[in-house]
Amino acid sequence: MIESISNLWSIPLLVIIPMLTAIIVNFLYDKAIKPIAISSAIVILIISIISPYGYHWFCGHPALNPETLTFTFNPNIFGYKLSLEFIFGPLQHIMIFISSLILLFCVILSTIGLTKHQGPYIALLFLLFMSSAIVIMVNDLYHLWIAVEIGSLIVVGVAAASGTSISHKAALKYGLFSAISGAGLAVSLALILGLTGFANISDAIMYLKQFNIGEMSTVLYIAFGFFVLSWMYAGGLAPIHPLKSEVYGASYPHATTLLQAQSKLMLVAIGIIMLRLFGMLPFVKEVMIFLSVITMMIGVIMALIQIDFRWIIAYLIISHSGFVTLGIGLGTYEGLIGGIFQAVNDIIYMTILLLCCEALFYFGGKTSTKEAYGIAKKSPFIATATILGAIAASGIPPFNGFQSEIILIQACLKEGFPEIAVLILMVSVTTFIALLRGIYRIFLKPPELQSYDDSNVDLPKVLIIGIIIFIVLSIIIGIYPDIVLRFIIPVVKEVLSI
């Protein structure tokens, strides 16, 4: 239950601690970064676990009750909020917990595996976490826009950090498009502000419900169009998927874990906001479903024809984003549960695959499927983990992917869309084919004799621990899905106001 306090202690810390850490490590540049970054990531993880639920009204201005014209600091009494509202509820709890877990591994892996001068890079990782935490917690249109804007800028930085020409190109292209989608979101929120007069999302929805907007729905439709633009951009839906997958593929795999978590969080957060703001208009849900279906299929088809394991995973991330948005687009009870649950599961199993991909860098960084490397013989653990990750991603029980995909399929059948259910099955199967192509070439197929090198490779223990933790999480959620669903169901009930 969300408590009735408007000054919850944990919300500002979840935003300010990453920001201050980023400032400090960026200034220090290469000295003493490791202890500061790791301890800060641990603190964030602990806060995300122990935090109670509630609201935070930044800058401490009260809400104005329109009937009595009195000010109140009690979030349970309805009033138009003067301050900027953040919510920490069950959805935020589970999402931020998983992101901060990934942040911790991401920071440790980058301090171990990368060359010196990592200050700016680790600063960007912390800011990436901050932007995704803000997007999922914020209940204010204007702040949402800023968070999406800063988020896309940070993605550009993370992609460019490896300094290769391909990552520079990916970063530049993605950065150019941020101008279009950021401006689109700004236009959209300007239209909603003009229509309702409220930047707070709950207040704007309350206004739309109270007053019949009639012929002004044109304005709302255009606002929806621009909103979708930024949704596509932030989550990498079609037609922006070539740019987003390029960013995923060109960044280091450990950074991609955080990048994909951020984009899933953005998809869920912006998707729910869209459903709440525009859900009552006809054709809105259909547009969202249409985009999701296209993304699902194009993503998986593109994954099939890639010749690099990193790019296969990159396109699969895109394709599976389509599942998330499909669930949200359906807008039903089962659909929303399936969509949000899929986002959580997706973050977990893609993290397994990406961490295995990171391990390949310790074997010489060869991820192309053109040649065979026979890595299964050198490290049976990584090979097994990758195959388990592939099984989880393709929705085979007892892993977590199965649980959310079955909910999504049921939701589609219940809504009368058996075709979409067929497509979900197709994508699941094809995910397995696409991954197995890469796995076979890289791990299983014996290498050519002359290119075989027998040297031993020491993988960092953190990497192995991380892979094991995420596999265990995947199995636990797969066997006992209620562990996550109990966070999601109250949120869905609230969104649909059941």
By C-beta, is 457 or 483 nearer to other proteins?
Answer: 457
Residues 23-52 that bind other proteins (CB under 8 A): 23-24, 26-27, 29
CB-based burial, 243-276: b 16+ in 10 Å, e otherwise: bbbbbbbbbbbbbbbbbbbbbbbbbbbbbbbbbb
Question: Which span sits near other proteins by CB under 8 A: 209-217, 321-329, 338-346, 448-456?
Answer: 209-217
Q: Does 142 bind other proteins (CB under 8 A)?
A: yes
Question: Which span sits near other proteins by CB under 8 A: 296-304, 389-397, 448-456, 482-490?
Answer: 296-304
Q: Would you list the DSSP string of 258-327?
A: HHHHHHHHHHHHHHHHHHHHHTTSTTHHHHHHHHHHHHHHHHHHHHHT-SBHHHHHHHHHHHHHHHHHHH
> Coil, strand, or helix at residue 443?
helix
Q: What mask of x and - would describe binding to other proteins in positions 363 to 402, judged by CB under 8 A?
A: -xx---xx--------------------------------
Separation of alpha carbons 386 and 471, rounded Å: 10
Q: Which of 78, 207, 333, 381 binds other proteins (CB under 8 A)?
A: 207
Separation of alpha carbons 173 and 245, rounded Å: 12
Question: Which span sits near other proteins by CB under 8 A: 13-21, 333-341, 393-401, 476-484?
Answer: 13-21
In whole angstroms, how close is the CB of 218 to other proteins at the nearest point? 5
By C-beta, is 172 or 479 nearer to other proteins?
Answer: 172
Q: Which of 45, 87, 137, 147 binds other proteins (CB under 8 A)?
A: 147
Q: List beta partners, residue 86.
A: 56, 138
In whole angstroms, how close is the CB of 469 to other proteins at the nearest point? 22
H-type alpha helices, 307-399: 309-330, 333-362, 375-378, 380-393
Separation of alpha carbons 339 and 334, rounded Å: 8
Q: Which of 143, 310, 320, 378 binds other proteins (CB under 8 A)?
A: 143
Q: Does 150 bind other proteins (CB under 8 A)?
A: yes
Q: Does 482 bind other proteins (CB under 8 A)?
A: no
Q: Does 119 bind other proteins (CB under 8 A)?
A: yes
DSSP state of 487: H
By C-beta, is 215 or 453 nearer to other proteins?
Answer: 215
Residues 265-284 that bind other proteins (CB under 8 A): 281-284
Q: Does 412 bind other proteins (CB under 8 A)?
A: no
By C-beta, is 175 or 389 nearer to other proteins?
Answer: 175
In whole angstroms, how close is the CB of 181 to other proteins at the nearest point? 9
Question: Which span sits near other proteins by CB under 8 A: 39-47, 191-199, 401-409, 483-491?
Answer: 191-199
Please report the sign of the dihedral spanned by the C-alpha atoms of residue 54, residue 55, residue 58, residue 61. negative
By C-beta, is 121 or 402 nearer to other proteins?
Answer: 121
Q: Does 77 bind other proteins (CB under 8 A)?
A: no
Residues 215-234 that bind other proteins (CB under 8 A): 215-219, 221-225, 228-229, 232
Instruction: Give the up-direction half-sphere exposure of residue 386: CA atoms within 13 A in the CB hemisphere.
Output: 27
Q: Which of 310, 320, 378, 437 binds other proteins (CB under 8 A)?
A: 437
Q: Does 346 bind other proteins (CB under 8 A)?
A: no
Residues contacting 99, CB < 8 A, separation 6+: 129, 132, 133, 258, 261, 262, 265, 347
Question: Which span sits near other proteins by CB under 8 A: 269-277, 323-331, 387-395, 426-434?
Answer: 426-434
Question: Which span sits near other proteins by CB under 8 A: 99-107, 154-162, 328-336, 375-383?
Answer: 154-162
Q: Does 198 bind other proteins (CB under 8 A)?
A: yes
Q: Which of 38, 153, 462, 464 binds other proteins (CB under 8 A)?
A: 153
By C-beta, is 234 or 471 nearer to other proteins?
Answer: 234
Separation of alpha carbons 332 and 326, rounded Å: 11
Separation of alpha carbons 276 and 279, rounded Å: 6
One-letter identity of residue 56: H
Element (H, E) at 185: helix 165-196
Residue of 61, 82, 71, 77 lying closest to 7 (CA atoms): 61
DSSP state of 457: -
Q: Which of 2, 38, 206, 304 binds other proteins (CB under 8 A)?
A: 304
Separation of alpha carbons 66 and 62, rounded Å: 13
Q: Does 305 bind other proteins (CB under 8 A)?
A: yes
Q: Does 179 bind other proteins (CB under 8 A)?
A: no
For 48-105, what is the HEC assignment? HHHCCCEEEEECCCCEEECCCCEEECCCCCCCEECCEEEEECHHHHHHHHHHHHHHHH
Residues contacting 230, CB < 8 A, separation 6+: 148, 181, 182, 184, 185, 188, 270
Q: Does 65 bind other proteins (CB under 8 A)?
A: no
